[in-house]
Structure 1
Amino acid sequence: SAKLLNSEDHTEQIWRSRVRSLCSVGWDKRQQLVSSTMCTHQFKSICFQATRRALSYWSHRTGSLAKPESISSVCAVRLMSIDSGGGDSGHPPERIPRAGKYRSAWTILKEEMEGIGTMKPPGTVVPRETDVLIVGGGVIGSAVAYWIKERSPKGSNVVVVERDPVYTRASTMLSAGGIRHQFSIPENVQLSLFATEFFTNIKEHLSVIHESPPDIGFNHQGYLFLAPPRDAELMIENVKMQNELGAKIAFLTKSQLAQKYPWLNLDGVECGSLGLEGEGWIDPWSLLRALKQKNISLGTKYIHGELFDFEFLTQQDHGAGDRNLRLDSGVIRTKDGREHEIRFSVVVNCAGPWAADVAEMAKIGLGDEELVYPLPVEPRKRFVYVTHCPDGPMLDFPFLVDPSGFYVRREGYGGNYIVGKSPACEEDEPDIGNFEVDYDMYDEQIWPDLAKRIPAFNNSKMKSAWAGYYEYNTFDQNLVTGPHPYHRQMMFACGLSGHGLQHSIGVGRGVSEMILDTDYQTIDLTRFHFDRFINSTAIEEQKIV
């Protein structure tokens, strides 16, 4: 200890390391010999000397010289408080400031000493600065982090903030896990095609050394969309476009449907489209776990906390550009009640159903000029029902989407199926204040249509159900990505309205390209930028499931 204290190497990193190591040695010794007066005095002495040297060094660096006697008195009072089990006031600091703001050496030392017992100093739970701050650690936020770190593992620091680290209520975990290429917008088809390629080769992308290769349970069972006579021409056009982009979609007439699926009642159906390759469903939890595990191995830092505010620089502060306000840092509240400011270069809004709340923290929708326009994303509650049908279709059963609005797919091989449906109109939207399931919706709106389309479901019984939130873009039910026109360092990756899981990989890559290359290099997602809300240019997807 004396040798370390007498060293003349004055560098910030080494000095902070020394203070930690010296205090750790003293604390461990004190814990072992708690009744020893000698140990207590040794502990005080070591901490006093380390603090004195640290304070002197910081005073020299900041140009604010502290008198030796004032340092001694401060150290004596603080160490007496530590020795007696108390503190200044018994409460942690209200807020830990962002990088660039002054913090006393004593404050830093005290926080590090508080974390000695857990080996995780509270002051370092949230970094004081980062290159990219991602709000929302679900599958989209994790995909953004993956692509940034994959391309720039050492050149970019990435922090992901997630308030629900076990994802019990995350939209990712509560989805049906579908992957389809059958969209009416070319960019959506391209995003899904890329997702299929990625998921097929997921072991090459997300494997981590010394860990088992990821397995997301990709069931290659295509989607089957049924269309009434009025939608037949549109389906033909969509299938042509999808195949031109590389999808493998078959157009089936009514007679072909009857021959291939004899268990279907085709009343009111004119034709159908079937995915022959690359469509199906996956296990959402396995994908998210694989992404998070890979990100951590690449150096991404996941924080259990909640972003609840932003700090701004005024034009006088940043002195550049024509913007009165510039985003400077986020304020994160962790589970211990502390508030942490974290300065960033770019913040990515991946907050899913709550993305509009994050946007409002940046005054989007509450200001002037471009800030007048809000982010039109809100939570909608959706129900997924599990039903058992012992006589239902088995291995040849596709992910069926009916013209009446319900969808159904096989779940395992034991005669279980999951079923869901979106409300027909705004008035039917369920209350989002809780996670209660509306079982009457299945009995009154879903089961009659399901049993009519597939008569075998007349002999079925609902076994369970769950509710989850759906990030709904009220403007055009499509992705919102790219930078905000005012806050250029705020990126969006939200509003996907039910196809977030399958498009997360492509959207994450697109956002990383905008951050690292300032433009799209693969799939051009410019049409999905925030500007379309200002210009009132909607991008309507014909089939939202």
Structure 2
Amino acid sequence: MGWSIAYWLKRNEPRSDAIRVVVVERDLSVSYPSSKMYSKASTVLSVGGIRQQYSMPENIRMSLFSADFLRSIDEYLHVIGQPPVDIQFNPSGYLFLASDEKAAVLEENVQVQREEGAKVSLLSPAQLKKKYPWINTDGVALASCGLENEGWFDPWTLLNAFRSKAISMGVYQSCGEVTCELFLSWYYFITSLSLKFVQMPNSTEYATIQCSLVVNAAGAWSSRVAEMAGVGTGPPDSISGVKLPVEPKKRYVYVWHCPDGPGLGCPMLIDTTGAYCRREGVGGNYLGGISPTEEEEPDIQDLAVDHEFFQEKVWPKLAHRVPSFESLKVKSSWAGYYDYNTFDQNPVIGLHPLVENLYFATGFSGHGLQQSPAVGQAIAELILDGKYKTIDLEAFSFNRLIKGEKALERNII
């Protein structure tokens, strides 16, 4: 997200070298070879999916924009002297299954998706079985299938493409962690604050960065950065007392082998239970998981994987839906963090109403990677033009947190 914003700022700046952009990265050390960079970053620990099957028009528009961007990615992010950018996109689509209780909602969502220009088909249980014979349709009343611009890609390639292109355009990189309070200039008489400095005592380049504005794109840890800027630290009944409701949530991804599993046309399957899976490569490997319930939320102190969670919560659901998975063999697993918005599971994008030069791009709750091209463009427009020009994302502003008005997305995975 940060490198996308940096790229779009430099791409859209009014003249060459009009602005100086610094990206602060804590999960990157110059003392490590490149293969060790971003070892705990949510981007590279995601499953790399992109879909248009949302219920909110804004989310659909962002993903449509991103799909178009990814289709022509080499035109945007190619760096002279380097190989073409290939994100290894697999266009197998997403397949959502709905029970009787959720069928009407799924149909309504598809109608919105089609109105926004997404190509999505509805399938009855009979049509579903004909198209995907390996699926057990028990308990399925309706399914929706993305026909184009959906699938998955390599997150590492996208991250490095944004980073390499941004650096080639003059963006500075700082390897360090913001650990001290951001310095504020207080203006009580106009009820606004302004960030002046960012301090990073452990940085390899800059101990202090003087800035005209700050974009908080710190993902799962963005609420900590927000508190350093005074957000949520004031009286509870004031604007300054409204916190950024973003927390780290640990999610497991499991990889298994099943030689008799679904073929190469296997989509990203989202079961009625919330369990998901997709094919990984051509060797009969698959990956998947499920979001835990509130009571099952794992400890976030490390990225250790709970293997019993797969045996007890994931495997039974997937084996019921895909009978060939009854004989699967788990090969590996990993865990990563969601920047989970506890308020409404939708992002917080845009300017803070009180800290007049603090912008947010966080709280995507698992959808940040696929929406990063669109969000980067949107934040750049806000900064350079003072308004959204491509996609209006005002529905995701910080103001909704103050008003207590949720932006509800019905297709959260």
TM more than 0.5: yes
Query: Distance in 2 between the 1:323 and 1:231 partners?
Result: 46
**CA contact 2:303–2:335 (8 Å) conserved in 1:** yes
**Which of 128, 141, 145 pairs up with 2:2?**
141
What are the residue-to-residue correspondences of 1:255-266 with 2, within 5 Å? 255-266=126-137
| Structure 1 position 231, deviation (Å) | 1.2
Task: Identify the residue that residue 92 of structure 2 maps to in structure 1.
Answer: 221
The 5 Å alignment of 1:293-308 reads 293-308=164-179
- Residue 187 of structure 2: which of 311, 315, 319 is its match? 315
Provide Cα deviations, 1:264-312, integer angstroms capped at 9, x if missing partner: 1011000100000110001000000100000010000011011122112
- Mapping of 1:9-408 within 5 angstroms? 140-152=1-13, 153-165=16-28, 166-308=37-179, 309-315=181-187, 322-323=190-191, 325-335=193-203, 340-368=207-235, 369-408=238-277
Which deviations, in whole Å up to 9, do the C-alpha atoms of 1:31-90 show, x marking residues without a partner?
Answer: xxxxxxxxxxxxxxxxxxxxxxxxxxxxxxxxxxxxxxxxxxxxxxxxxxxxxxxxxxxx
- Which of 277, 282, 288 matches 1:413? 282
Q: Tell me the secondary structure at the aligned position of residue 334 of structure 1.
A: coil
- Taking the aligned partners of 1:504 and 1:265, their CA distance within structure 2 comes to 35
2:193, 2:356 within 8 Å by CA — same for their partners in 1? Answer: no
Q: Which moved more, 1:186-195 or 1:236-245?
A: 236-245
The Cα of 1:436 is off from its aligned counterpart by 0.8
- CA displacement at 1:326 relative to structure 2: 2.5
1:518-529 equivalences under 5 Å are 518-529=386-397
Question: Unaligned regions of 5+ residues in structure 1, if any?
Answer: 1-139
CA distance in 1, matches of 2:10, 2:193: 29
TM (norm. structure 1) is 0.72
Provide closer, same or farther for how the CA distance between residues 323 and 427 of structure 1 changes in structure 2, counting only shifts above 3 A.
same
Tell me the amino acid that sits aligned with residue 157 of structure 1. Answer: R
Name 1:509's counterpart in structure 2. 377
Task: Indicate conservation of the 8 Å contact 2:348/2:362, yes or no.
Answer: yes
Q: Over aligned residue pairs, what C-alpha RMSD do you find?
A: 1.3
The 3-state SS of whatever aligns with 2:147 is strand
1:439 to 307, 311, 321: 307
1:474 to 342, 346, 362: 342
Distance across 2 between alignment mates of 1:374 and 1:315: 20
Q: What secondary structure, in the 3-state scheme, does the structure 2 residue paired with 1:306 have? A: coil
Aligned residue number for residue 47 of structure 1:
none
Q: Which residue type is aligned with residue 182 of structure 2?
A: F
Query: How much does 1:370 deviate?
Result: 1.2
Amino acid in the other structure paired with 2:5: V
In structure 2, C-alpha distance between the alignment counterparts of 1:324 and 1:527, rounded to whole Å: 22
Kindly tell me: are residues 534 and 314 of structure 1, through their superposed partners in 2, closer, same or farther at Cα, counting changes over 3 Å? closer
The CA distance in 1 between the partners of 2:194 and 2:326, in whole Å, is 60
- The one-letter amino acid of 2:369's match is L
Matched residue count: 400
Deviation (angstroms), 1:459: 1.4
Q: How far is 1:335 from its partner?
A: 4.5
Question: Structure 2 vs 1, CA of residues 322 and 480 (structure 1 numbering), >3 Å: closer, same or farther?
Answer: same
Give TM-score, length-normalised by structure 2.
Answer: 0.95
Deviation at 1:339, TM superposition (A): 6.8
SS in 1 for 2:208: strand
How far apart are 1:524 and its partner, in Å? 0.4
Report the 3-state secondary structure (helix = DSSP H, G, I; strand = E; otherwise coil) of the residue aligned with 2:176. strand
| Shift of residue 375, structure 1, vs aligned partner | 0.3
Pairwise CA distance, 1:179: 0.4
Partner of 2:357: 489
Q: Once the 2 structures are TM-superposed, how far is the Cα of residue 325 of structure 1 from its aligned partner?
A: 3.9
Q: Greater helix share, 1 or 2? A: 1
3-state DSSP of counterpart to 2:85:
coil
Deviation at 1:427, TM superposition (A): 1.4
Is structure 2 residue 406 aligned with structure 1 residue 538? yes
Question: 1:258 and 1:372, CA in 2 relative to 1: closer, same or farther beyond 3 A?
Answer: same
Deviation at 1:177, TM superposition (A): 0.3
Letter of the 2:208 counterpart: E
Alignment correspondent of 1:22: none
Shift of 1:492: 0.1
Q: CA deviation at 1:213?
A: 1.1
Give how far 1:315 is off.
3.2
Distance in 2 between residues matched to 1:217 and 1:339, nearest whole Å: 36
Q: What one-letter code is carried by the residue in structure 1 that aligns with 2:277?
A: V
Higher relative contact order (CA 8 A, sep 6+): 2
- 1:314 is displaced (CA, Å) by 3.2
Cα distance in 2 between the residues matched to 1:214 and 1:326: 39
Structure 2 letter corresponding to 1:386: V
Separation of aligned partners in 2, 1:428 and 1:334 = 35
Task: For residue 499 of structure 1, report the CA deviation from its aligned partner.
Answer: 0.4
Higher radius of gyration, 1 or 2 = 1
